[in-house]
Structure 1
Amino acid sequence: MKAAVLTKLGAPLAWQDVTPPAIGTGEVLVDVHSAPILSYANEVFSGARRYLIPTPVIPGCGAIGKVREVGPDATKLKVGDWVFCDPTVRSRDDALMPDITLQGWSARGEGGQMLQRYFRDGTFGEQVRVPTENAVAIGQIDPANASQWCALNTLLIAYGGLLKMNLQAGECLLVSGATGNFGSATIITALAMGARSVIAAGRNQAVLDDLKGRFGNRLVPVKLTGDSERDTDTIKKSVAWPIDAVLDFLPPSVEAAVARAAIMAVRPYGRAVLMGGVGMLGGDDLALPYPWIMRNNISIHGQWMYDSAAVTGMVRLVHSGLLDLEQFAVTEFSPQDVNEAVAHAASNAGPFKLTALKIK
């Protein structure tokens, strides 16, 4: 088969002949139709992000494809089924604290690197081998829409945070970092789940205006100033009812004070879920007031990625018509143009923009 190979960090990807993968018990072989190219892929492949990604490697984080072969433990999947290749691979020998690797992308800690040594290659190839539970059936789709279904990659991360906070229909959600890829994905997902209103907090007025145009009166844009106390007050006054929960997706470049301003806008007994990168490049701690957390019964959770059952829930939202993938503008590239695709993804990042490698 052919695949895009990263021979070393900083080198261009090469579309070349490689040995096709073979599966064993507990694995599924998938013919890749479309694979998303994340906006920061160029930073991963150059080494700038310092991700633990071994080379040479076939990179690629997630894909849409059709089952080519199943192992003896598969009881539902059949050859020809459309599936989402979930890149979040978990160890199976510790249900309480499983190690995690993102197949074809990165690993966390010693256990994650052990997983990575086996589930090394990702989805930038004609075939990919994944654990059985990571080939999640998505039902019948139009092959022409396979690239659009790659939006699941981003949507699922947002959905993971919303499930963590147990967002309920009729609640008011505040999205901190709403003008980025994950923040905008949170908005469309929360509205699909029945949120009464979603407050979109950010500094990019043009994106806030676009979000308002897309989602109407259930979307409440709030332009942030950088003054923490003022921003908290503005957020609280943006709606006539209490804010039940906040999901933070602020990037590493943003100061902790911006995240703090959003979190402190939630009502007593409110919830906050942290999924962004604040503090990863240094700077101040989040420094939330202990008395405020305690006296107001505030719940604060961290969440990385999503639970495996989230994929099925997200697929149901799409097939039911509650979440419209047509919101995503997709630009497709042939696999021979993979390096141009990586450059395009970096220069065309933003809400509801998707770059995909069209392999079949």
Structure 2
Amino acid sequence: MKAAVLKSLGTPLVIEDVPAPVLGTGEVIVDVVATRVLSYMNEVFSGERNYALDLPVVPGPGGIGRVRAIGPDATKLAIGDWVFCDPTVRSRDDAVAPDIALQGLTAAGPGGMKLQKHFRHGSFAEQMRVPTENVKRLGEITTVEAARWCALGTMLVPYGGFLAAGLKPGETVLVSGATGNFGSAAVAVALAMGAACVVAPGRNETILADLVRRFGPRVRPVKLSGNETDDREQMKRAAPGPIDCVFDIMPPSVSPTVVRAAIMTVRAYGRVVLMGGVGMAGGAGLELPYPWIMRNCVTIHGVWMYPPDAAVRLIALVRAELLRLDEYEVTAFDLDHANEAIDHAAANGGPFRMTVIRP
């Protein structure tokens, strides 16, 4: 089969024929129809992000496709089913604290690297092998619609954060990083989950205005000045009442002071979700006042990805039309032009923009 292969960091993907995946027990083979390209894939492939990758590798985190072959433990899946391939692969021998690898992207710790050695190849290929539990049925869609369904992979990240925080209908949320690709998805997901209001801080007034245009007055934009104290007060004033939950998804390039200003808007007994990249590229880490956390009974959730059943729940939100995939503007490339797709994603990674590869 044809695949795009990363053979060494800092070199382009090589498009070549590789052996087709072989089905094992507890696995499913999927014909990949569409797969998203992360806006920072170029930084992963250059080595700038220091992601753990066992090279050579067929990259690509998850995708949309049709079931080609199933093992004996699959009782609901059928050949030809449209499915979402969840890239979050978990070890099966520790239900309390499983090791995790992101198939086709990275791994955490020695256990995650062990997982990656088996489930290392991702979706930049005509076929991929996926753990049975990571294959989520979509119902009937068309080949044209498959590209837009790739947005599940982006929306699942903030959805996992809000699930961890126990977001309830009627609450007020602040999304730190609302003008980015994952942050704008967080705005949409929070509203779909019933948030009464989403405070959306940022420096790009055009993007902030577009969020209000898309979602209406439940979005309260805040133009950041760069002054930590002033920005914190502006964000508080923008909310109709106390802020119940702060969600941070800022990239590694952002100063910790910007993140801290947002976090410290949360009310007493409120919750904070950290899913961003502060400190991942070196430099200062996030410093929060111990007395403020303790005396205000603030709960801080560090969240990497989402629980195993999150994709099924999110698909249900889309099917109920509470979450709209047609917000996304999609640009598609074929597999032969995977390197061009990587460049395009890096240059066009804004809110509700998505680059996909169609193997």
Tell me which interval the TM-score lies in, with the shorter structure as reference length. over 0.9
Cα separation, 2, equivalents of 1:49 and 1:198: 30
Cα separation, 2, equivalents of 1:236 and 1:48: 36
For 1:35, the aligned partner's letter is T
> TM-score by structure 1 length?
0.98
Q: What is residue 47 of structure 1 aligned with on the other side?
A: 47
Q: What is residue 183 of structure 1 aligned with on the other side?
A: 183
CA distances 1:116-143 after superposition (whole Å, capped 9, x unpaired): 1111111111110000001111111122
Cα separation, 2, equivalents of 1:115 and 1:233: 45
C-alpha contact 1:256 1:283 (8 A) present in aligned 2: no
> TM-score by structure 2 length?
0.98
Mapping for residues 190-339 of structure 1, pairs under 5 Å: 190-339=190-339
Deviation at residue 196 of structure 1 after TM alignment? 0.3
Task: Look up the SS of the partner of 2:114 in the other structure.
Answer: helix
Mapping for residues 13-92 of structure 1, pairs under 5 Å: 13-92=13-92
Task: Look up the SS of the partner of 1:64 in the other structure.
Answer: strand
Cα separation, 2, equivalents of 1:283 and 1:127: 40
Task: Look up the SS of the partner of 1:268 in the other structure.
Answer: strand
Task: Look up the SS of the partner of 1:89 in the other structure.
Answer: strand
User: Where does the alignment leave 5 or more consecutive residues of structure 1 unmatched?
Assistant: none
C-alpha contact 1:255 1:283 (8 A) present in aligned 2: no
Q: What is residue 343 of structure 1 aligned with on the other side?
A: 343
275-284 or 295-304, larger mean C-alpha shift: 275-284
Deviation at residue 294 of structure 1 after TM alignment? 1.7
CA distances 1:22-58 after superposition (whole Å, capped 9, x unpaired): 1111000000000111111111122222211122221
Cα separation, 1, equivalents of 2:135 and 2:30: 8
User: Where does the alignment leave 5 or more consecutive residues of structure 2 unmatched?
Assistant: none
Q: What is residue 109 of structure 1 aligned with on the other side?
A: 109
Deviation at residue 191 of structure 1 after TM alignment? 0.6
Cα separation, 2, equivalents of 1:239 and 1:45: 40
C-alpha contact 1:26 1:131 (8 A) present in aligned 2: yes
CA distances 1:70-106 after superposition (whole Å, capped 9, x unpaired): 0001111111111111111000111111111111111
Q: What is residue 144 of structure 2 aligned with on the other side?
A: 144
Cα separation, 1, equivalents of 2:98 and 2:106: 16
Cα separation, 1, equivalents of 2:50 and 2:290: 34
Identical aligned residues as a percent: 58
Following TM superposition, the consecutive aligned residue runs of length 4 or more in structure 1 with deviations greater than 4 angstroms are none
Deviation at residue 246 of structure 1 after TM alignment? 0.4
Task: Look up the SS of the partner of 1:174 in the other structure.
Answer: strand
CA distances 1:182-202 after superposition (whole Å, capped 9, x unpaired): 110100001111110100011
Alignment partner of 1:7 is 2:15: no
Cα separation, 2, equivalents of 1:293 and 1:42: 37
Cα separation, 2, equivalents of 1:284 and 1:342: 29
